[in-house]
Amino acid sequence: MSGKAVNLGNVAKVAGVSKSTVSRVLNNKLGNGFSVTDEVQERILNVAKKLRYRPNLIAQSLSKQKRKMIHILGGSHALHDLGDIYQTAVNKIVSSIDSALEDYNVTVDMSLHHSDESELPPWHISAAIILARCNPATAEELEQARIPHVSINGPGNLRVVPDDVNGTRLAVRHLVELGHKRIAYAGPQAAFLRGHSSVNDRHETYLSEMSKYGLSPMPGHNKLLSTVKTYDNLHNSAIKFIKESVIQNKATAIISYGHMEGLNLMQAAHILGVSIPEQLSLICFCDQHACDVMSPSLTFIDLMSAEMGQAAAELLIKQMKTPDQNKHETIKLPERLIVRKTTSVAPRN
């Protein structure tokens, strides 16, 4: 064959049968008054294999509405906002979605877009899952087309989010139980993250938990760690934070908004001769993989990426089955504290 994709007509022509016969054989639709000999069936299968025929799932979906297609979008936004190291978290979410939807004969697709145009594919989709966020054009098209959709760790009427309030409580309590009283908070690294609920939830809960334990928030808690999203700027900002919070203001522990901030704070502490965890305890919010590659291994609040993917798939299935009964729902998944080697008892003054 030429460079063109092989279709049913090509298979039918070589096998010497009709397109409908090829379709029934390849889709295992024999019976109900239709049958072919074993010889014809084997010939069709051999021709399809020889020609490397691949069924067109898009055409099947459009014509039969049998193969439901789920489109996962927003991946580029998630990685841009949170950092490339979150690729593993995104992969884990997508994998759990794929596994959860496998029994429902759903195809999971992933797109990465960087423009302000609609991120939806040119083919028909049955539903969508948004990672963190999508652009306004996409959100508008989803609503206008009445396409069922669920967001993960982002805005929307149907969404799955981690419980950052309880996660922050776990972090503060862990440090307080270790005897820390001077606990600093290192915020996110770029101004556009202020639009995400986690920024406010983690910071406000830090303040309320410090007050609950009779402790004063440390200076710098209400600032971005870095205002320019570059590695050099983040590195320099981390060194400045350690100098001001630890060396000058005597913080013995830091809660970091995320692991990119945590990694740079760890490196800055090493450069400035501040030992972790002997002199400084460090804890951050993160997906497990990112913390596994750090040394010493980082104590962290697990954002439960795989569980979010599973819950989003289940919520989407419910929405697809009963679209008129399920208009607004937010599922909050509890985060968990994973204690590693960057937190220890508070040093004695």
CA atoms within 13 A on the CB side of 12: 12
CA angle (173, 175, 179) in 5-degree steps: 110
- Same fold for the pair 68-162+305-334 and 164-302: yes
> Cis link prior to 296 (omega < 30° from 0)?
yes
- List 201's β-bridge partners, or say none: none
pLDDT of residue 159: 93
Identify the pLDDT of residue 224.
83
pLDDT category at 204 given cuts 50, 70, 90 is very high
CA nearest to 269, candidates 231, 289, 240: 240
Q: 8-55 — its CATH code?
A: 1.10.260
* Residue 275 predicted with pLDDT over 80: yes
- The residue extents of the domains of the chain are 8-55, 68-162+305-334, 164-302
Which range has the worst mean pLDDT, 20-34, 148-162, 255-269? 20-34
Tens digits of residue pLDDT in 277-301: 999 999 999 866 556 667 788 999 9
Helix/strand/coil (H/E/C) assignment for every residue in the chain: CCCCCCCHHHHHHHHCCCHHHHHHHHCCCCECCECCCHHHHHHHHHHHHHCCCCCCHHHHHHHHCCCEEEEEECHHHHHHHHCHHHHHHHHHHHHHHHHHHHHHCEEEEECCCCCCCCCCCCCCCCEEEEECCCCHHHHHHHHHCCCCEEEECCCCCEEEEECHHHHHHHHHHHHHHCCCCCEEEECCCCHHHHHCHHHHHHHHHHHHHHHHCCCCCCCCCCCCCCCCCCHHHHHHHHHHHHHHHHHHCCCCEEEECCHHHHHHHHHHHHHCCCCCCCCCEEEEEECHHHHHCCCCCCEEEECCHHHHHHHHHHHHHHHHHCCCCCCCEEEEECCEEECCCCCCCCCCC
Residue 29, pLDDT score: 60
The Cα–Cα gap between 80 and 71 comes to: 19
Give the model confidence (pLDDT) of 122-132 as tens digits.
777 888 988 87
Q: Which residue has the tokens 């440390």?
A: 218
Q: What is the pTM for the complete model shown? A: 0.76
The whole-angstrom separation of Cα 52 and Cα 278 is 62
Instruction: Read off the pLDDT of residues 130-188 as tens digits, 9 standing for 90 and up.
Output: 887 788 888 888 888 888 999 988 888 999 999 999 999 999 999 999 999 999 999 98
Closest CA to 134 of 106, 157, 156: 156
Q: Among all chains, which residue has been given the structure tokens 């959100």?
A: 139
Dist CA 313 CA 316 (whole Å): 5
- The answer to whether the CB of 132 falls within 8 A of the CB of 152 is yes
Q: CATH assignment of 164-302, given 3.40.1260.10, 3.40.50.2300, 3.40.50.620, 3.40.630.10?
A: 3.40.50.2300
Give the count of beta carbons closer than 10 Å to the beta carbon of residue 344: 19
- Give the list of residues 6+ apart from residue 216 with CB closer than 8 angstroms, or none: 210
Note the pLDDT of residue 241: 97
Specify whether domain 68-162+305-334 bears CATH 3.40.50.2300: yes
